[in-house]
């Protein structure tokens, strides 16, 4: 419970991230900080150059892979409270977004604040599910915060993908998928759907898939596209970074059916712009119903909204007599992680 109707003095939303000013700790800071609590490994949340980095084991491994090993801080288990000074504790709670992703619960003298980072409410075979956590202030992402964004069941999108492959034995399916999270989820979901053939990877996907495997996620047979002949890739499924769709690299593939896995594929124009023939609406973020459902479920005293379409969610909160405000964090642009 908040001690007064005013924002607690020990937390401040600044342009560079969420700041705990009494101890000068930051959450997902966009510039180098002495002490950074990091929700997950995507580049708009995890940057290089911090002093101490406190994150889950998988997130610290991802940071090490991208920027080199952090100099200080340590791995935190989920639900392990960390005393960070000024009577504040930080606890990492599963966010269901990508491997290692966490919400951060900040507590001080009975006041509870949740920083969700990015999250989703759908099951994902590559990470632990979102753990709803009661709080006074909920700081939520709003990437897909418009009622038009409703993500279909992933089973439906995977079935469309497999049907396209079945119908086109002389072509390959080339899926553009973000290298951290999306790519691994697609592979795991293909396996769950009973697809057991080799899945082919662009070279840029390999290191992150291996990292997931070291953390116990199983993918079955994966191989590098560069090791296969054009003929051998007919009727096969290939996963590449979104930037490699329509690239010179893709030209040696057998008549690829361009697919792209993203929540943005709900917007037809986005698929057209990227020359995507098979848009797959697969997102690692909440859709509109998941966002509003989470706010209703947790019913915090106040909701702070960041990176996305704040206006629609602000309006929705007002309609439901819930206090809300939009934050103005820098560097949280929409991108292919969607």
Q: Is the CB of 172 or the CB of 282 nearer to Zn ion?
A: 282
Q: Least separation, in Å, of the C-beta of 264 and Zn ion?
A: 14
**Pairing assessment for the beta strands 302-308 and 137-142 based on DSSP bridges:** parallel
Q: Rounded CA gap, 133 and 154, in Å? A: 25
Residue 118 sits in the site that holds Zn ion (CB under 5 A) = yes
Q: How far is the CB of 228 from Zn ion (least distance, A)?
A: 31
Q: At what angle do helices 206-214 and 57-67 cross, to 10 degrees?
A: 150
CB of 306 to Zn ion, least distance (A): 9
308: how many CB neighbours lie within 10 A of its CB? 24
- Closer Cβ to Zn ion, 44 or 157, answer by number: 44
Q: How far apart are CA 219 and CA 59, in angstroms?
A: 19
Specify the 3-state DSSP secondary structure of 173: strand
Is 178 or 200 the residue whose CB approaches Zn ion more closely? 178
Under the binding rule (CB under 5 A), the answer on residue 28 touching Zn ion is no
Cβ 44 to Zn ion shortest distance, Å: 5
C-alpha 270/C-alpha 190 separation (Å) is: 24
Strands (E), 157-270: 173-176, 199-201, 222-224, 237-240, 257-261
Nearer to Zn ion, 44 or 61 (CB): 44
Rule CB under 5 A: say whether 42 interacts with Zn ion: yes
Q: Considering the complex, state which of residue 244 and residue 337 has its C-beta at the smaller distance from Zn ion.
A: 337
Size of the site for Zn ion (CB under 5 A): 4
Region from 9-17, 21-29, 114-122, 150-158 binding Zn ion, contact rule CB under 5 A: 114-122
Using CB atoms within 10 A of its CB, is residue 30 exposed (0-12), middle (13-18) or buried (19+)? middle
Distance of closest approach, residue 118 Cβ to Zn ion, in angstroms: 4
* By the rule CB under 5 A, 47 interacts with Zn ion: no
Binding residues for Zn ion (CB under 5 A): 42, 44, 118, 337
């Amino acid at each position: 419970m908040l001690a007064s109707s005013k924002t607690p003095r020990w937390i401040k939303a600044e342009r560079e991230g969420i700041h705990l000013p009494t101890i000068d700790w930051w959450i997902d800071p966009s510039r180098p900080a002495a002490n950074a609590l990091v929700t997950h490994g995507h580049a708009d949340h995890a940057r290089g150059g911090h002093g101490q980095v406190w994150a889950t084991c998988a997130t610290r491994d991802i940071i090490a892979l991208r920027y080199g090993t952090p100099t200080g801080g340590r791995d935190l288990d989920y639900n392990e409270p960390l005393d960070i000074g000024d009577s504040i504790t930080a606890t990492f709670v599963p966010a269901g977004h990508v491997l290692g992703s966490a919400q951060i619960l900040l507590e001080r003298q009975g006041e509870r604040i949740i920083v969700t980072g990015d999250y989703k409410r759908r099951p994902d075979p590559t990470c632990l599910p979102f753990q709803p956590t009661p709080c006074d202030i909920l700081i939520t992402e709003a990437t897909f915060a418009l009622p038009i964004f409703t993500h279909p069941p992933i089973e439906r999108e995977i079935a469309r993908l497999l049907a396209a492959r079945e119908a086109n034995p002389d072509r390959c399916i080339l899926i553009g998928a973000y290298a951290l999270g999306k790519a691994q989820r697609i592979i795991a979901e293909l396996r769950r759907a009973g697809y057991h053939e080799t899945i082919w990877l662009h070279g840029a996907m390999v290191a992150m898939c291996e990292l997931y495997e070291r953390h116990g996620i199983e993918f079955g047979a994966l191989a590098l596209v560069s090791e296969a002949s054009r003929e051998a890739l007919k009727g096969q499924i290939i996963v590449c970074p979104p930037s490699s769709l329509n690239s010179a690299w893709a030209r040696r593939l057998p008549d690829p059916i361009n697919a792209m896995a993203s929540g943005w594929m709900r917007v037809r124009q986005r698929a057209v712009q990227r020359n995507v023939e098979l848009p797959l609406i697969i997102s690692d973020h909440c859709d509109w119903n998941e966002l509003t459902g989470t706010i209703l479920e947790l019913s915090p005293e106040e909701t702070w909204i960041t990176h996305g379409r704040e206006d629609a969610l602000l309006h929705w909160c007002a309609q439901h007599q819930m206090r809300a405000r939009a934050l103005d964090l820098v560097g949280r642009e929409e991108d292919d992680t969607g």
